[in-house]
Structure 1
Amino acid sequence: GLVILAIILRAQRIRQALRISQADRRELRGANALLALEIEERRMAETQLEKAQSELARSSKLAALGQLSASVTHELGQPISAMQNYLKAAEFDKDNDERKNSLERLGGIARRMVSITRQLRFFAQPGQSTMEQVDLIRVWKGAFLLVEADLKQKGVKLKVNIGEEKIIVLGNRLRLEQVLINLLRNSISALEDQKNKTIKVDLGIERDMAIITISDNGHGLGAQTMDQMKEPFHTTKASGNGMGLGLAISTAIVVEHGGQLRAENGKKSGAVFTLELPVELPLELDDLGKKGK
C-alpha cells in the first residue's frame, strides 16, 4: 500500500512540475513574442529616424545653398552693375584723367569680386595648407601692408604694441595673415560712424601661447555671441557690404592651427578680438635640444 501511495505522490509531483514547466514555456514564448515586437518597433523607429535625419540634412543643404545663392547674387550683382555703369561712362570719357579714374574704379571692383570668390573657395577646399614655422611679427607686417590703405582712407589711428623678438608658431603664413586682415577690416567697418577712430594691436606670449589682441572703439558686439558671429553668412552689415564669411573663415583657420579665437565687448566701448596660438620652439633651438639629449 505504501508503494502505491509513493507512486501516486510521485506522479502528482511530476504532473505539477510538468504544468509549471508548460506555464514557464508559455510565459517564455510570450516574452519572446514581446521582445520580437519590441525589436521590430525599434528597427522601424531607427529607420524613421535615419529617414528624418536624411531629410533634415537635405533641407539644411538646400537652405545653405539658398542662403549662399542669395548672398552671392547680392555681393556680385552690385559690383557687376557698377562695372557696367563705369564701362558705359568710359566710352564717353574724352579726358585721360577721367578715363584713368574710371579704370581705377573698375580695378577696385574686379579686386572685390576676386575677394568674394576667394572667400567661397576657402569653404570648397578647407584645410589644404602646408604648415611650417612662421614668425607672427612677419605675419602682422604682411597683414598690415594689405590694410594700410584702408586705414588711411577711413582715417583710423593704429596703435601697435609689438616687441622685436620673434614669436614662432607652426602654421601657414598666408592663412594667418588672412585672419588678421579679416579682424582688422572688421574693426575698420565697426568704426564707420565714429569720430575718433582707433584700433589697438597687441602681440605677446602668455603661458606658451602667442596672444594677438585687436581692439577698437567702435559700436561693440552688442548682444551678439562669438558662436553667432562665426556662423557663415551671419552679418549685421547692409546688403552688398559683406557676405558674413570673414569670422567664419578666421575661426576655421585658427582651429586648423590648434588655437582659438574669442570676442567680447570692450570695457568702455568697442570690441576686443583675441587670437591664441600654441608657441613653437624655433628650429635652431629645437636642433640644439635634440643634440643635447
Structure 2
Amino acid sequence: MPMGEDIHLTPPRAGTARGGLAAPDLAPSEMGSAETDQAWIAVIQKMDEAYAELVSQQVELEAKNAALEEAQGFIAGLLGAMTDVLVACDLSGRVEQVNLAAERAFGQRAEALVGRPLAELIHGASPTSAADVLDTMASRARIADREFSLATPEGPLPVAVNGALRFDPRGRAVGIVLVGRPIGELKQAYSDLASAHEHLKRTQQQLVHAEKMASLGRLVAGVAHELNNPISFVYGNAHALKRYVDRLMRYLDAVPAEGAAATAARAELRVDRALADIPSALAGMLEGAERVRDIVADLRRFSSDQRGAREPFDLAAVVRSAVDWVAKSQMPDLEVQVALPDDFETIGHPGHIHQVVMNLVQNAVDAMEGQSAPRLDISGSRTADRLVQEVRDSGTGIPTEVVDRVFDPFFTTKPVGKGTGLGLSICYRIVAEHEGRLTVENAAGGGAVATLALPAAGGRP
C-alpha cells in the first residue's frame, strides 16, 4: 500500500471482517472505541502480510521468468550455432521445429517448414525414407548413422542422421528428433582417396609389368646373343657347302664312269638322285638359317634398351614379326591377310611398338578361338605425317555395354586366368607416349577392329 495515502475502511458487519478476520459478535454500540481500533489494526496487518507475500511471489516469478528467458536464449543460440541439420517431428511425422542450419539447407524459413510432412523434406532417392523413421518410432528404437538424402534446392544433400525419441514430462513419446551431419565433402574425400588408391594400384602393376618386361628383355637379349654365334656358324658353313657342292657336281659331271662296276655303284648309291636333291636341301638349309637369323634380329630389337633415343624403324616388319610370333604359332588354320605399304616407317622404340602389335594380334586370335574359319586382316595406309594400321578379326565383336571400358586397367572380358586386363591399358599408354592414338571398336561387317595411328618418319610429329 502506498505510503501517505489515507485509508478509508467501512466497518464490517457483525461476525465478519475484511481479509477473512473474524470480528467480535457485538453490536457497534456494545464495542468500545479501543476494541474497534484493535480490530481494524489486525485487519490492516493481515492485508500488509498478504500484500508482502504477493510482492515476494511476483519477485520470484519475475526471477524465474528471467531465468526461463535466459535458458530459452541459450537453447536458441545453441540451435542457431549448430552446423548439423536438426528437425523435430511429432508422432505422425510432421515437422514441429527446425534449426537455422535446416533453414539454410532447405532454403526456407522455419515458418514454412513447420507443419510439413517429413516425407516432403526427404529426397525420393534417399537410402532412408520417412516411412523408415515412422517405423523406428513405432518400435521405440534409435537411428544411428543412417544415410539420408535431403531434398534441397541444390539437389539431394547426403547426410548421416542420428535420431532419438522425444518424451513429455509424463514419460510418453511425443515425437522424434533427427540430427543430420552433411557428408558430401566426406564422400568426395573418400572418392578421391579411392581414386588415388586405384591409381596407386595401377602404377604398382605397371611397375611390376615394367620390371617383368625388363627381365624378359634381358633374358631375350642373352638368348639372342647365345643363338647368334651358332646360327652365324651354320649360316656361313651352309654358304660354303653350297659352293663346294657346286664344284663337286661339276667335277663328277666331268669325270666319266669307269667300267660297269662304277656304273653299278653309282646306281646303287643313288648318286645322281643325291646330286639332284643337294641344291634343294641346301636351299632349305639356307632358308631355315635366314629365318632363325631374322628371329634373332627380332629378339634383339625387342630386347633393346627402350629408354634410349627414339629411332626410325619399319612398322611393317614389326607387324609381320608379331603375326609370325603369335597368330601362326597359336592358330595354324588362321587365314592371315597383310596389306601394308612399302614405305611404312615410324619413329619410336621398336620394342614398345612390337609389344603393342603383339597384344592387338593376341586379342584378335583370342576373339576368334573356336571358330571354323578364322580370318585376320591387317591393313595400313600413310599420309604425309601419319601411319594408320588396322587389325581386324572375324570374331564375335565387343559387347556394346563394355566397348567404352576396354582401356580401363584390370578390365577384361576373358575368362579368369586368361587375361589380367592390363594389356590394352598399357598399350594405350605406350601409344600415347609415342604421340599416337589407339582405338578399338566393333567393325561394321562383324568382329572387332583395332586402329593404331603413329607419326610417320620424316613427317610432322
TM tier, smaller: 0.5 to 0.7
Distance 1:66 1:252 in 2: 16
Distance 1:216 1:148 in 2: 11
Question: Structure 1 residues 269 and 130, CA, compared in 2 at 3 Å: closer, same or farther?
Answer: same
- Mapping for residues 220-239 of structure 1, pairs under 5 Å: 220-224=397-401, 227-239=404-416
Question: Structure 1 residues 197 and 207, CA, compared in 2 at 3 Å: closer, same or farther?
Answer: same
Distance 2:336 2:440 in 1: 19
Matched residue type, 1:157: E
Residue 216 of structure 1 corresponds to 393
- Following superposition, the deviation at residue 140 of structure 1 comes to 1.4
- Mapping for residues 23-102 of structure 1, pairs under 5 Å: 55-62=190-197
- The answer to whether the 8 Å contact 1:204/1:211 transfers is yes
Residue 444 of structure 2 corresponds to 267
RCO (CA 8 Å, sep 6+): is it higher in 1 or 2?
1
Pick from 174, 178, 188 the counterpart of residue 351 of structure 2. Answer: 174
- The answer to whether the 8 Å contact 1:254/1:260 transfers is yes
Q: Which runs of 5+ in 2 are unaligned?
A: 1-182, 209-305
- The answer to whether the 8 Å contact 2:359/2:424 transfers is yes
Cα distance per residue 1:186-243 (max 9 Å; x no partner): 0001101322100100022135310100001101112045541001111111100110
Q: Which runs of 5+ in 1 are unaligned?
A: 1-47, 73-126, 283-293
- The answer to whether the 8 Å contact 2:380/2:388 transfers is yes
Distance 1:136 1:215 in 2: 17
Distance 1:261 1:243 in 2: 19
Question: Structure 1 residues 267 and 148, CA, compared in 2 at 3 Å: closer, same or farther?
Answer: closer
Residue 251 of structure 1 corresponds to 428
Residue 339 of structure 2 corresponds to 161
Q: 1:179 is paired with a residue of what secondary structure?
A: helix
More helix by share: 1
Question: Structure 1 residues 148 and 220, CA, compared in 2 at 3 Å: closer, same or farther?
Answer: closer
Residue 44 of structure 1 corresponds to none
Cα distance per residue 1:237-264 (max 9 Å; x no partner): 1100110111111111111111111122
- The answer to whether the 8 Å contact 2:313/2:346 transfers is yes
Q: 2:417 is paired with a residue of what secondary structure?
A: coil
Distance 1:62 1:159 in 2: 43
- The answer to whether the 8 Å contact 1:219/1:271 transfers is yes
Residue 196 of structure 1 corresponds to 373
Tell me if 1:134 matches 2:313.
yes
- The answer to whether the 8 Å contact 2:388/2:454 transfers is yes
Question: Structure 1 residues 239 and 192, CA, compared in 2 at 3 Å: closer, same or farther?
Answer: same
Distance 1:129 1:232 in 2: 27
Tell me if 1:147 matches 2:147.
no
- Following superposition, the deviation at residue 146 of structure 1 comes to 1.8
Distance 2:427 2:355 in 1: 7
Distance 2:185 2:432 in 1: 30
CA RMSD of aligned residues (A): 3.1
Distance 2:350 2:329 in 1: 21
Largest Rg, 1 or 2: 2
Matched residue type, 1:132: E
Distance 2:441 2:432 in 1: 18
- The answer to whether the 8 Å contact 2:407/2:425 transfers is yes
- The answer to whether the 8 Å contact 2:393/2:449 transfers is yes
Cα distance per residue 1:68-91 (max 9 Å; x no partner): 99xx9xxxxxxxxxxxxxxxxxxx
Distance 1:169 1:199 in 2: 23
- The answer to whether the 8 Å contact 2:367/2:397 transfers is yes
Distance 2:422 2:351 in 1: 17
Distance 1:224 1:156 in 2: 29
Distance 2:360 2:443 in 1: 15
Residue 77 of structure 1 corresponds to none
Distance 1:131 1:224 in 2: 38
Question: Matched residue pairs, number?
Answer: 177
Q: 2:400 is paired with a residue of what secondary structure?
A: coil
